[in-house]
Amino acid sequence: MQLHFAGEGDGRKLASLYDTGIDEVPDWVWERRSLESLNLSQNFLTELPAQIGELRELRMLDLGHNALADLPGELRRLWRLEYLYLSDNPLGALPAAAASLPGLRYLAAAAIGLETLPEEIGSLPNLEELRLDGNRLTSLPDSVGELASLRELSLRSNQFTRVPPALARLARLEHLDLRANRLVALPPWLAQLPGLTKLDARWNGLEASQPVAIALTARGCRVLL
């Protein structure tokens, strides 16, 4: 997903500390209350201070590839946030604050040690893309079916043995990535998802002759098995 901000090019609204070797966020960041984009990825952060809640104008926050084990509850004060990248942190769970951001359009939580998702995940009415690759998920909560705006869902490299039933309610879903799981079959209802244009279920050992794969291909959906 490409996010474009009105303040692009304005140093007062964008701040990047990508791959600068920091282990704590410098104080000057919290003084820039008009920030819309903050990139703190690829560092050695073990903690995100509660001051993050003061950056009320933030629309993009990249915390990926750090050593964060938790996030402060103040994160839920970022009502304008659209893009949140948490991947490659030892979080172990999706913090409740991350599922309490009504404006969120993109959420990446790959390789954070997830075994379950909170039911609150369904409380993201504007979420369009959800990336959960490289975790230990075996199921998804029923509330995932409430993500009415979801267009792309990536579940690559988890431990699913069946396609989560809640996905049957995602009428706007276009791309579904199920690669490298433990699937033994594809459910018939996949062929009824009206928006699906690409299904990638490679590296599961599935037969290409499955009726649902044939039905999806016949209607123009790209199916990779």
- Examine residue 205 and state whether it is found in any structural domain, yes or no: yes
How many separate domains does the chain show? 1
Rounded Cα–Cα distance for residues 15 and 60 (Å): 10
Over the stretch 31-79, which tens digit does the pLDDT of each residue have?
A: 999 999 999 999 999 999 999 999 999 999 999 999 999 999 999 999 9
- Examine residue 190 and state whether it is found in any structural domain, yes or no: yes
- Examine residue 3 and state whether it is found in any structural domain, yes or no: no
- Examine residue 141 and state whether it is found in any structural domain, yes or no: yes
Alpha-helix residue ranges (DSSP H) falling in the chain: 211-218
- Examine residue 61 and state whether it is found in any structural domain, yes or no: yes
Range of the domain at 93: 14-224
Residues pairing with 108 in the sheet: 85, 131
What value does the mean pLDDT of the chain take?
Answer: 94
- Examine residue 158 and state whether it is found in any structural domain, yes or no: yes
Report the pLDDT value the prediction gives residue 2, as an integer from 0 to 100. Answer: 41
- Examine residue 129 and state whether it is found in any structural domain, yes or no: yes
Report the pLDDT value the prediction gives residue 12, as an integer from 0 to 100. Answer: 74
- Examine residue 124 and state whether it is found in any structural domain, yes or no: yes
Rounded Cα–Cα distance for residues 148 and 191 (Å): 18
List the CATH number of the domain containing 20. 3.80.10.10
